[in-house]
A = this chain, B = another copy of it.
Amino acid sequence: MIYMDNAATTWPKPQRVIKAVTGCMERYGANPGRSGHKMSVQAGMILLYTREMLCELFNIRDPFQFVFTCNCTDSLNMAIKGSVTPADHVITSSMEHNAVIRPLKEMEKQGLKLTIIKCSPDGDIDPDDIRKAVQTNTRLIVTTHASNVTGTILPIEEIGRIARSFGIPYLVDAAQTAGVLSIDLHSLPVDMMAFPGHKGLMGPQGTGGLYIHPDLDLPSFRQGGTGSQSESLYQPDLLPDKYESGTMNTPGIAGLGAGIREILRVEQLKIQAHEKRLGKLFLEALSHIKGVKVYGPSDLSRRTGIISINLENRDSAEVANLLDERYDIAVRGGLHCSPLAHGTIGTLNQGTVRFSYSIYNHLDEVKSCIKAIEEISRC
């Protein structure tokens, strides 16, 4: 089987990740930070270890600026609902995933004002459009770092500078980029960054996180037991407990730590170079196949490891099924939970056939994909 659905979940996971998960369950599967016994302390240590790995990867000093969540959607809900009230105005882009759009649309029902900046047909945004959209009650700017439909990378540094110039918090959805692109949170003008554990960071599903800038004070999203200030009926204010109620996914977070360690070991620049090689081969070959429409920028430096295509007017889900059934190639067809992005690139009816690769895909696999597309396009 050729797995080309890494934009949804990366697979396979490094063996070290799986071992970290089982090792945690077998050897120190107690509650972290609650009871004081040895196994509980050890479980607490692994959470700290993973936070330290996040610090190293994203260049942050204080591990408690990272809060664990159950997925990137959870992080985005926490960040959005903690940042704005229904009286506020929010600016976002037309390339967003439903994990950004649906919480905003839910709040819009209660009065929130929303400006959705129209992106170009290849998925790019003009930062100046954001500047022009700022109003006196704009309390949040939120954009994806890279589209999950086209792979288009958005200019988060420029957007962040604009946000800072107005003193408006900027939230980045790094679902497609965390672990793949180099992200230096120390120098970037980013106030919050939501990320999944199970994509580029190579961790297991059920993990994710939110980076919160030390100057921000979000209210808690969930309240409950934290193992700290147990005498209090109110959520503690200290980090990371304020945002981490109930028992954490310790085995998952242990796996996430091992996944990030693996990325640091392989080196991000090598991951990027490998994915560029795959992308170059893929895009060049596709340009020679008649009837193939490729979405997103042609410039490889402006896209992540996603190649979204269509074969003339053929149903994308049907093409995806053919790839699965006849060629054992796993891709995603149809709409990718991002209706606005499909509207922007003109595929709201057709969807796209999305190939997404990772460090673990080989050139030969890309060649097989190209061969399969060629054959399907002929029949």
Contact = CB atoms under 8 A, between A and B. Distances in A.
Chain A: interface size category? 35 or more
Contact of A35 (B36, B231, B233, B330): B330
B204 A251 contact: yes
Interface in A9-33: 9, 11-13, 17-18, 21-22, 25-26, 29-31
Contacts of A310: none
A106 interface: yes
A67 to B, nearest CB: 13
Interface in A244-268: 245-252
A293 interface: no
Given A35-B330, A73-B246, A9 B29 contact: yes
Interface string A218-240: 00111111110011111100000
Given A205-B249, A233-B340, A251-B206, A330 B39 contact: yes
Interface stretch (A58-66, A93-101, A155-163, A295-303): A93-101
Number of copies: 2
A83 to B, nearest CB: 15
Interface stretch (A280-288, A316-324, A362-370): A316-324
Most chain B beta carbons < 10 A, residue from A31, A224, A252, A333: A224
A70 interface: yes
A339 interface: yes
A25 B101 CA distance: 30
A74 B246 contact: yes
A18 B248 CA distance: 17
Interface in A325-345: 330-340, 342
Contacts of A73: 222, 224-225, 245-247
27 contacts: A8-B31, A8-B35, A9-B31, A11-B29, A11-B30, A13-B29, A21-B21, A21-B25, A34-B332, A35-B331, A35-B332, A36-B321, A36-B324, A37-B332, A38-B330, A70-B246, A71-B248, A98-B225, A98-B226, A98-B230, A102-B245, A204-B249, A204-B251, A205-B247, A226-B337, A227-B337, A230-B337
